[in-house]
């Protein structure tokens, strides 16, 4: 139900491009967004059909919505950028003006050009190389340049005021144009070769150096030839490490994202002249708005920080107003820029490569212990638990058409999956698909074992939760552990436009209504991840049992039919079905008259099946005798 003040506000929104500011009830700006049509975009949040994860968050926080109308989509991009910097909204991705971006600048118009380490790209006709993802990579590049191309490193002031050469000249790293007469053509040749190296133009540079080395050798300038040889070896090694990702020698930035709950990592893969030159990860927390809104905002902010603008920008999803972004980037670059969302081919492979890097960077930035404990504190508060849930266990029951009823237990310790405490169960006392009775049995067995965790999470709703609570009570463990039920989202209404789904619901003991956590929250992500892992683990065990039952032929349980005779029967008749259809004479041709009568009798029910391996006798991985399962 939309509040009256908001309904009135929405009715007056203009159908023009602009920026909207969402404020909380204290008047603080919590989100800034742009739109081609402000009325359509903002009303879309509250039309009643939007089931995106952040909608419940707006219902809880929103106090006002302001709009600013502009003339064009390009102006909306610029204004969004300025307002995000001004208000620093909590739900926007925020790029700080820090020193994350390192690049090399070379002003070839100078008499004696030198490489400078700078933090910003400027439209000043100098050559820029990078960005470099780390100080280590840029130091290695400068080391090679200084040693083998010998460009000056001193400032312009030192160049014009030095009276004697510096240490770099003495160790053969600089020709000292500040003091000595250095042939200008020789120095600029070194500048050109350094540019080729920085651009990754391996064939041209290597050919050029080999030609100079051969000329020096023929002229008996062996010292110079040896220096060129060493230079060539070092450069070839360095250029080999520059992976060629595309035959098209174009500068590109490739964007990717990876998110889990409220944690988001955006990744930019840099390609210069078709070669991968590095990448940069941008992690964010507390981002509960959807990715399709956060990505364009990030791209806009990224290039507003004077980062190098390439010829092409590859994105993993379509952006509203992509043409305006192209126009804005073209103004910054001074040339055409294409914003693309490739679906196939080499460029799509680059997107996949960037996605893998984003995923790996996310893994490398797992929550710190402090973050994990803070998350568990929020889980305790939102679910009204007695204690911080540092140790949690989740249970799921699975069956196949009422058969092979199994259950799983997965564990989480301090917010991370704890596979040493995984367990799997065969349900022993319940037949068919009675989940409530199966859960009662499993929780009873778990309670008798003792050493209960801080929180038990049951996959299911009120019925499953009640079964678990009854089992704990009957086992004398009532109140010894917090218990909640986590019910999956389900389709409420299916139309031609799609399905309307409910939210994930958490049922608590003694409470009629479930708790609904924000769908992008870290708390819900932790619980659903545990629930999904329990489901996966149960299904895996069930499939193992079914496979074992299928692969174990009925022939194995007939005395006298060993592996050799079983193989002979199957090879001769082709299948168990044809063995069963065969008469005694046909069987006797393979295993002899006496054994043929026994096989025929067992397969046709004329004799009881001998005691063999009943599936109920398969080792029960209960708590009493369970072994840790490591996957």
- Given a cut of 50, whether residue 630 has pLDDT beyond it is no
Residue 294 has pLDDT above 90, yes or no: no
User: What's the pLDDT tens digit per position in 9-59?
Assistant: 888 888 899 999 988 888 889 889 998 899 888 888 877 666 555 667 777
pLDDT for position 262: 75
User: Per-residue pLDDT tens for 333-353?
Assistant: 888 999 999 998 888 989 998
- What's the mean pLDDT in 415-433? 85
pLDDT at 377: 93
In whole angstroms, what separates CA 273 from the centre of its chain? Answer: 27
Helix (H) or strand (E) holding 143: helix 135-144
Do 268 and 180 share a structural domain?
Answer: no
Q: Do residues 413 and 387 both lie within one domain? A: yes
Whether residue 10 is found in the same domain as residue 138: no
Q: Is the peptide bond before 131 cis (omega within 30 degrees of 0)?
A: yes
Contact, 420 vs 628, CB < 8 A?
yes
Three-state DSSP state, 413: strand
Q: Looking at residue 30, which CATH number applies to its domain?
A: 3.40.1440.10
Q: What CATH number has the domain bearing residue 593? A: 1.10.150.20
Given a cut of 70, is residue 549 above it in pLDDT? Answer: no
Residue 594 counted as domain residue? yes
Q: How far apart are CA 370 and CA 448, in angstroms?
A: 33
**What pTM, to 2 d.p., does this model score?**
0.50
pLDDT category at 465 given cuts 50, 70, 90 is very high
Based on the fold, state whether residues 423 and 530 are members of the same structural domain. Answer: yes
Six-digit token pair at 361?
Answer: 């960077």
Residue 23 lies in a domain: yes
Query: Do 163 and 219 lie in a common domain?
Result: yes
Which positions ≥6 away from 72 have C-beta within 8 Å?
Answer: 17, 324
Distance CA 394, CA 457 (A): 4
User: Lowest-confidence range among 90-104, 335-349, 521-535?
Assistant: 90-104
- Give residue-wise pLDDT tens across range 167-200: 888 887 888 888 888 888 888 888 888 888 777 6
The string of DSSP codes covering 272-286 is ETTEEEEEEEEEE-S
Query: SS3 sequence, 181-221?
Result: CCCHHHHHHHHHHHHHHHCCCHHHHHHHHHHHHHHHHHCCC
Residue 83 lies in a domain: yes
Give 395's pLDDT tier (boundaries 50, 70, 90).
very high
Q: Which residues of 520-535 are buried (b: 16+ CB within 10 A; e: fewer)?
A: bbbbbbbbbbbbebbb
Classified as helix, coil or strand, 58 is: helix
> Can you tell me the distance from the alpha carbon of 159 to that of 182, in angstroms, rounded to the nearest whole number?
13
The domain spanning residue 289 has which CATH number? 3.30.420.10
Question: Which one has a higher pLDDT value, 371 or 379?
Answer: 379
Are 409 and 428 contained in the same domain?
Answer: yes
pLDDT of residue 541: 86
- 473 in a structural domain: yes
User: Domain range for residue 333?
Assistant: 252-364
Same domain as 486, residue 446: yes
In a domain, 316, yes or no: yes
Q: Are 580 and 604 in contact (CB under 8 A)?
A: yes
Closest to 528 in 3D by CA, of 468, 490, 487: 487
User: Do 213 and 337 share a domain, yes or no?
Assistant: no
pLDDT at 574: 75
Which candidate, 41, 27, 37, places its Cα nearest to that of 87?
A: 27
398 and 518 fall within a common domain: yes
Pair (329, 392) in one structural domain: no
Which of 260, 310, 307 lies closest to 286 in space, CA to CA? Answer: 260
Higher pLDDT: 290 or 113? It is 113
pLDDT at residue 612, as a whole number: 41
Boundary residue ending a domain (42, 59, 87): 87
For residues 377 and 502, membership in a common domain is answered with yes
The CA distance from 581 to 577, in Å, is 6
Domain end residue (candidates: 240, 261, 283): 240
Residues linked to residue 271 through DSSP beta bridges, in sequence order: 252, 276
In a domain, 92, yes or no: no
What's the chain's average pLDDT? 81
Q: Which of 87, 112, 145 is the last residue of a domain?
A: 87
CA atoms in the 13 A half-sphere facing the CB of 46 = 18
Q: Please state, for a pLDDT cut of 70, what percent of the chain lies above it.
A: 83
Q: Is residue 620 part of a domain?
A: no
Same domain as 121, residue 77: no
Cα 245 to chain centroid, rounded = 21
Cα 66 from Cα 54, distance rounded (Å) = 19
pLDDT tens track for 487-523: 987 655 656 655 566 788 999 999 989 999 887 788 9
Query: Rounded distance, CA 23 to CA 25, Å?
Result: 7
Per-residue pLDDT tens digits for 425-440: 988 888 777 889 999 9
CB 294 within 8 A of CB 262: no
Q: What is the pLDDT of residue 620?
A: 33
Number of domains making up the chain: 5
| Domain contains 264 | yes
Flag the least confident range among 236-245, 414-423, 620-629. Answer: 620-629
- The helix or strand, by DSSP H or E, that contains position 116, with its residue range, turns out to be strand 115-118
* Res. 152: pLDDT tops 80: yes
3-state DSSP assignment of residue 109:
coil
């Amino acid at each position: 139900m939309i509040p009256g003040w908001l309904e009135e506000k929405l009715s007056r929104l203009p159908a023009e491009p602009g920026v909207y500011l969402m404020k909380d009830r204290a008047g603080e700006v919590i989100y800034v967004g742009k739109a081609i049509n402000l009325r359509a975009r903002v009303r879309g949040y509250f039309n009643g059909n939007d089931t995106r994860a952040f909608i419940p968050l707006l219902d809880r926080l929103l106090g006002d919505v302001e709009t600013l109308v502009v003339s064009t989509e390009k102006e909306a991009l610029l204004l969004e950028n300025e307002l995000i910097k001004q208000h620093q909204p909590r739900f926007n991705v925020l790029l700080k003006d820090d020193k994350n971006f390192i690049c090399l600048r070379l002003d070839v118009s100078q008499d004696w050009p030198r490489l400078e380490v700078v933090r910003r790209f400027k439209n000043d006709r100098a050559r820029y190389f990078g960005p470099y993802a780390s100080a280590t990579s840029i130091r290695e590049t400068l080391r090679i340049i200084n040693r083998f191309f010998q460009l000056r490193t001193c400032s312009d002031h030192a160049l014009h005021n030095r009276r004697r050469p510096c240490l770099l000249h003495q160790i053969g790293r600089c020709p000292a144009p500040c003091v000595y007469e250095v042939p200008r053509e020789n120095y600029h040749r070194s500048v050109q070769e350094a540019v080729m190296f920085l651009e990754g133009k391996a064939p041209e540079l290597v050919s050029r150096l080999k030609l100079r080395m051969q000329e020096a050798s023929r002229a008996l300038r062996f010292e110079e030839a040896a220096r060129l040889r060493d230079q060539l070896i070092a450069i070839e090694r360095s250029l080999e490490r520059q992976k060629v990702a595309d035959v098209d020698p174009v500068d590109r930035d490739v964007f990717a994202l990876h998110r889990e709950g409220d944690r988001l990592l955006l990744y930019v893969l840099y390609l210069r002249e078709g070669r991968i030159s590095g990448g940069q990860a941008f992690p964010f927390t507390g981002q509960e708005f959807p990715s399709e809104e956060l990505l364009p905002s990030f791209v806009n902010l990224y290039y507003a920080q004077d980062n190098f603008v390439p010829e092409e920008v590859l994105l993993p999803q379509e952006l509203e107003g992509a043409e305006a972004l192209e126009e804005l980037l073209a103004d910054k670059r001074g040339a055409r820029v294409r914003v693309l969302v490739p679906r196939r081919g080499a460029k799509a492979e680059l997107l996949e490569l960037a996605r893998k890097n984003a995923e790996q960077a996310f893994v490398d930035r797992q929550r710190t212990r402090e973050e994990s404990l803070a998350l568990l504190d929020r889980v305790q508060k939102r679910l009204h638990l007695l204690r911080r849930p540092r140790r949690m266990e989740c249970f799921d029951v699975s069956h196949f058409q009422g058969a092979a009823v199994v259950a799983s237990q997965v564990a989480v310790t301090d917010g991370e999956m704890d596979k040493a405490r995984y367990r799997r169960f065969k349900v022993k006392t319940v037949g068919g698909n009675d989940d409530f009775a199966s859960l009662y049995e499993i929780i009873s067995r778990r309670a008798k074992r003792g050493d209960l965790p801080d929180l038990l999470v049951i996959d299911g709703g009120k019925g499953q939760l009640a079964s678990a609570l009854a089992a704990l009570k009957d086992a004398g463990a009532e109140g010894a552990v917090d218990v909640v039920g986590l019910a999956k989202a389900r389709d409420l209404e299916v139309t031609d436009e799609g399905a309307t789904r409910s939210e994930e619901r958490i049922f608590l003991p003694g409470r009629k209504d479930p708790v609904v956590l924000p769908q992008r929250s870290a708390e819900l992500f932790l619980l659903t991840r545990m629930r999904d892992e329990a489901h996966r683990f149960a299904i895996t065990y069930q499939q193992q049992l079914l496979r074992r039952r299928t692969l174990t032929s009925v022939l194995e349980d007939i005395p006298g039919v060993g592996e050799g005779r079983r193989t002979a029967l199957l090879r001769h008749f082709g299948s168990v079905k044809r063995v069963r259809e065969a008469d005694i004479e046909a069987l006797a041709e393979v295993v002899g008259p006496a054994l043929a009568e026994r096989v025929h009798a067992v397969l046709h029910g004329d004799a009881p099946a001998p005691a063999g391996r009943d599936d109920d006798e398969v080792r029960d991985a209960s708590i009493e005798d369970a072994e840790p399962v490591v996957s």
